[in-house]
Structure 1
Amino acid sequence: MTGEMKFQPGPAPVLTGDERFTGLDHTVKDFWSYAARDLRSNVLRGVLAEWLVAKAVGAAEPRPEWDEFDVLTADGIQVEVKSSAYLQAWPQHDLSRISFSGLRSQKLGPENRYSGQRTFNADVYVFCVQTAQSHDAYDPLDVSQWDFYVLPRSHVESIGYRSIGLARIKSVTQQVSFDELAAAINQAAEATVWDTPE
């Protein structure tokens, strides 16, 4: 079936957290406290990393979760954000090995159908590492506990895998702080432009 989509969602409302549920004596903030209680969890850590990158580059709007990249800068740079951490929200015998997966993904095409082919879809890839190695020290809200590694798409493509370890990333780029992140993304985007065939 082709043609115009019958049901088009409008923009998501911007919530403050003070909005009240109808028929329930609770607010959106109460829901957030329930749903997003532990920022160490894999899912929420990934969302937090995306938000940190978005704040670093001044991106105003979140991307739809099905989009082919995570953050769009004001200059139109498409950024894919990956996160990892040494500590998880569950008991561990050892610290986790830092690695990042899902570097290639399918694009969503016409009629909301996936292409069937996994490709590298962003201009720039940002690898975010939560560096705490003891739970007493772990503070996901402390940006100084995050290391960021930025690579242009061409470097990620040249590796050719759907996942990558931290040692490999460190062999081709240096860690940057949160304050250095926006400049590093712009620099990597320039490399992507120069590496793109005409």
Structure 2
Amino acid sequence: MKSTAYLQSWAQTELSEIKFRIAPASGWDAKTGTTSAEVLRRSDVYVFCLLHHQDKQTLDPLDLGQWTFYVLPTRILDEQCPGQKSIRLSSLKRLNPLETDFTGLQKAVAACAEGTR
């Protein structure tokens, strides 16, 4: 899961740019206490979580109605953005992720994991 928001806890003169980190990474092997030489994305599905609410006076991160979720199989990122370290919301949307609210999140993740997306 990757998350971001338009509003931050510090003073802002404008809304934050929406960008998610998607860089492939080395894995940790707890048995050997070493990192893997293999650099890749280590999930089947990415869930991008956007706290879309834009009024600081009424912002409540615990209100799931203030969130939008974008779900995408990792294979699409690997195919379309192989070495890319981050992705902007506009670029993410061009990859046609499943967009959902919290109530549809489980179904969207299952569809992406099963490859029916």
**TM-score (structure 2 length as normaliser):** 0.88
The runs of at least 4 aligned residues of structure 1 exceeding 4 Å deviation read none
Give the whole-Å Cα distance in 2 for the aligned partners of 1:119 and 1:177. 28
Task: Write the letter of the residue equivalent to 1:184.
Answer: A
User: For residue 32 of structure 1, what is the aligned residue in structure 2?
Assistant: none
How many residues are treated as equivalent by the alignment?
112
Alignment gaps of 5+ in structure 1: 1-80, 193-198
Residue in 1 aligned with 2:50? 129
- In the TM superposition, what whole-angstrom CA distance separates every residue of 1:92-112 from its partner, at most 9, and x where no partner exists? 111001111144221112412
Find 2:32's aligned residue among 111, 127, 135: 111
User: Residues of 2 paired with 1:123 and 1:150: CA distance?
Assistant: 11
Match status 1:168 vs 2:91: yes
How many Å separate the matches in 1 of 2:54 and 2:37?
39
Superposed counterparts of 1:70-81, under 5 Å: 81=1
1:89 correspondence with 2:9? yes
User: Which of residues 107, 110, 115 in structure 2 aligns to 1:186?
Assistant: 110
The CA distance in 1 between the partners of 2:108 and 2:50, in whole Å, is 16
Structure with higher Rg: it is 1
Q: Name whichever structure is richer in strand by fraction.
A: 2
Once the two structures are superposed, what CA deviation does each residue of 1:108-132 show, in whole Å capped at 9, x if it has no partner?
Answer: 1241211134211101000000011
What corresponds to 1:120 in structure 2? 41
**CA distance in 1: counterparts of 2:115 and 2:14, whole angstroms:** 37
- Deviation string, structure 1 residues 14-42 (Cα, Å, up to 9, x no partner): xxxxxxxxxxxxxxxxxxxxxxxxxxxxx
The CA RMSD over aligned residues, in Å, is: 1.5
The CA deviation string for residues 53-102 of structure 1, in whole angstroms up to 9 with x for no partner, is xxxxxxxxxxxxxxxxxxxxxxxxxxxx0001001111111100111114
1:1-198 equivalences under 5 Å are 81-109=1-29, 110-158=31-79, 159-160=81-82, 161-171=84-94, 172-191=96-115
How far the C-alpha of 1:156 sits from its partner, in A, is 1.3
Mark the runs of 5 or more structure 2 residues left unpaired by the alignment: none
**Partners in 1 of 2:69 and 2:88 — Cα distance?**
14
Q: Quote how far apart the aligned CAs of 1:174 are.
A: 3.9
SS in structure 2 at match of 1:175: strand
Q: Which amino acid in structure 1 is aligned with residue 13 of structure 2?
A: H
Q: Which has the higher contact order (CA 8 A, sep 6+)?
A: 2
